[in-house]
Amino acid sequence: MSDASLTTEPNSSPLRGVLWMLVTGFNFVMVTALVKYMGPRIPPAESAFLRYLLGLVFLLPMIGSLRAATWSPRLVAMFGARGLVHTFGVIAWFFAMTQIPLAEVTAMGYLSPIYVTIGAALFMGESLAFRRIAAIAVALVGVLVILRPGFREISPGHLAMFITGFSFGLSYLTAKTLVQRTNPTVVVAMLSIWVTVGLAPIALANWVTPTLHELVVLFGVACFATAGHYTMSLAFAAAPLTVTQPVTFLQLIWSTLLGALFFGEGLDVWVVLGGFLILGAVSFITWREAVAKRRVITPLPHAMKS
């Protein structure tokens, strides 16, 4: 049986999955573009706080799930810990957007799944086979291609993106545990609530009164971010990750063009090449995991005969 057959899922629609992933990419590129458009006048923590605060309106349909959930002190503590970690990642991301080009933010953002893979091996006992190690090495080469240490200055924005990737990786690993304990809708809602709470004191410590225009822009960020997560879930439901994951590379192309056309950012071929290496490594890890899972649940040919 070939690997291709092992990664084919019943009732999947690759074309629909790709189309939804294209829409997802557009939504997330609009998020980065609007944050870039905001500029540095509003501090990063305050921008992030207002984005999440305005986005709480989208949680109204989830109130029923929150009421029906079974709560325990341990569960609340896990939500709080995840919210705290995610908070630092969000602040670092908003800060990076004011420091480095859109394309570099997008390319380095692809690192989160690499951190997840390493974290799952270190803290959750998952195996780290040679293929995964090789893919991680390729991703790290991609980072070096983007940063080119010794040939260019590594800015605070680049360091912020490392914090973002690490924080989001830990957040995702915690989410994997939480979805086994409660409704996924609750997991999504609690992240938004806890991040809003976590950002509040940091934002208020250095508050700059936003204009109505800035509030509208940040509400747009919340709308596109929410729409992006929704369409991404539709893409995952329509087709396997092995089909949808490579499509995310278009986000880097769009970010590069957007930065060049509207923000005066130069076209850096090295950033595109580095992003391609990182995403290629992530896509390979995704494909191998899909193959491994299908091998576990797919009976051998002789076992299918009763």
pTM above the 0.75 mark? yes
Residue keyed to tokens 């630092």: 88
Which tens digits make up the pLDDT trace of 231-263? 887 887 787 766 777 777 788 888 888 888 888
Residue 268 pLDDT more than 70?
Answer: yes
Q: How many angstroms separate the CA atoms of 202 and 45, rounded?
A: 6
Sequence length of the chain is 306
Predicted pLDDT of residue 181: 86
Q: What is the mean pLDDT of residues 71-81?
A: 93
Banded model confidence at residue 198, pLDDT cuts 50, 70, 90: very high
Residue keyed to tokens 């991404």: 232
CB 292 within 8 A of CB 125: no
Residue keyed to tokens 């060049």: 260
Banded model confidence at residue 11, pLDDT cuts 50, 70, 90: low
Q: Is the dihedral of CA 226, 288, 102, 163 positive or negative?
A: positive
Residue 59 pLDDT more than 60?
Answer: yes
Q: How many angstroms separate the CA atoms of 62 and 120, rounded?
A: 29
Least confident of 43-57, 65-79, 274-288: 274-288
- Residue 214 CA, distance from chain mean position: 24
Neighbour count for residue 216 (Cβ, 10 Å): 13
Q: How many angstroms separate the CA atoms of 75 and 81, rounded?
A: 10
Residue 8 pLDDT more than 50?
Answer: no
Least confident of 182-191, 198-207, 238-247: 238-247
Q: Which of 116, 95, 79 is nearest to 198 (CA)?
A: 79
CA distances to 233, 276, 279 from 237, rounded to whole Å, are 6, 25, 21
Neighbour count for residue 271 (Cβ, 10 Å): 29
Higher pLDDT, 304 or 284: 284
